[in-house]
A and B are shown apart, each in its own frame.
Chain A
Amino acid sequence: MSFQATVQSAQGVVTFRLSGELDSRSAPRFHEMITQAVLPAARRLVLQMADLSYMSSAGLRCLVYAHQRAGSGVAIELVGTRPEVAETIRLTGFDRSLTMLEAGARP
């Protein structure tokens, strides 16, 4: 399944909605979206992950890039992450740098 991503920004909250498979082929596109959308004014990043079925280390690096670009004071929330994807994030310890929420916890 191909990777799809949308982004919207309102009142300092940047929300990405991801679907499909985020791997080494699709990661550069998402990386560019992060560069364009995550600006210093961002207060919070929300990633809707429920429809993301696969994520390799290339995708994980995108999440780390978003975290670095936003800055340490900006909260990052992953919503509805599937168990297999969440396991990859936890494996690397990056889950300690963000908040993982159940689906529906954020609009």
Chain B
Amino acid sequence: MRNTDRFRLFGDHGMGAVVADLVDTIAGMGRLSRRQAYRLRLAADEITTNIAEHGYHGRRGVVDIEGGVDDDWAWLHIQDNAPPFDPRGHCPGGVPETMHEGGYGLFIAFTGIDHFAYDYFDGRNRNTLLVRRPADAPDGGTDDRHRAAGR
């Protein structure tokens, strides 16, 4: 089973609420735990904020975010048209030395999810965020216990 929900954002600080709503939906579909939902939202927030601030340098730009679930994973694809940028090359291996490096958000993003992937295809950056679904999570439906990505 594969469910998707998709939004097209225009990169600015207002997109955090849209990201949160989408993650709430995906968390419900995938029956993620509260902690998983929160961490997925945090990761998506950090990635999209990084795109807006560093990819587009505060200017408006398209950010597409799409999410869904399959048998094992809840996933998000976050794509943008900014210059090629692989976040994995800008995240310290450990906790950053200072909070001003900009790597702190990416560190939090990568640490909070089960898998992160990046590719650049057809002029677009694509970030893939994966969270492993709980073993007892059936497909589909929503449950208020799981719609809790910080709300």
A35-B135 Cα distance, complex, nearest whole Å: 47
A60 touches which one: B104, B149, B150 (CB < 8 A)? B104
Given contacts A24-B16, A24-B49, A54-B150, whether A60 and B35 have CB atoms under 8 Å apart is: no
- Inter-chain contact A23/B16, CB cutoff 8 Å: yes
- Inter-chain contact A58/B150, CB cutoff 8 Å: no
A24 touches which one: B13, B20, B35, B100 (CB < 8 A)? B13
B32 at the interface (CB under 8 A from A): no
- Inter-chain contact A25/B104, CB cutoff 8 Å: no
A92 at the interface (CB under 8 A from B): yes
B45 at the interface (CB under 8 A from A): yes
- Inter-chain contact A56/B107, CB cutoff 8 Å: no
0/1 interface trace, chain A 1-39, chain B, CB 8 Å (1 if under)? 100000000000000000001011100000000000000
A102 at the interface (CB under 8 A from B): no
Given contacts A58-B49, A88-B42, A91-B111, whether A53 and B150 have CB atoms under 8 Å apart is: yes
A93 at the interface (CB under 8 A from B): yes
0/1 interface trace, chain B 70-108, chain A, CB 8 Å (1 if under)? 000000000000000000000000010001100011011
A63-B53 Cα distance, complex, nearest whole Å: 20
A53-B108 Cα distance, complex, nearest whole Å: 17
A residues within 8 A CB of B16? 21, 23-25, 56
B residues within 8 A CB of A91? 95, 107-108, 111-112
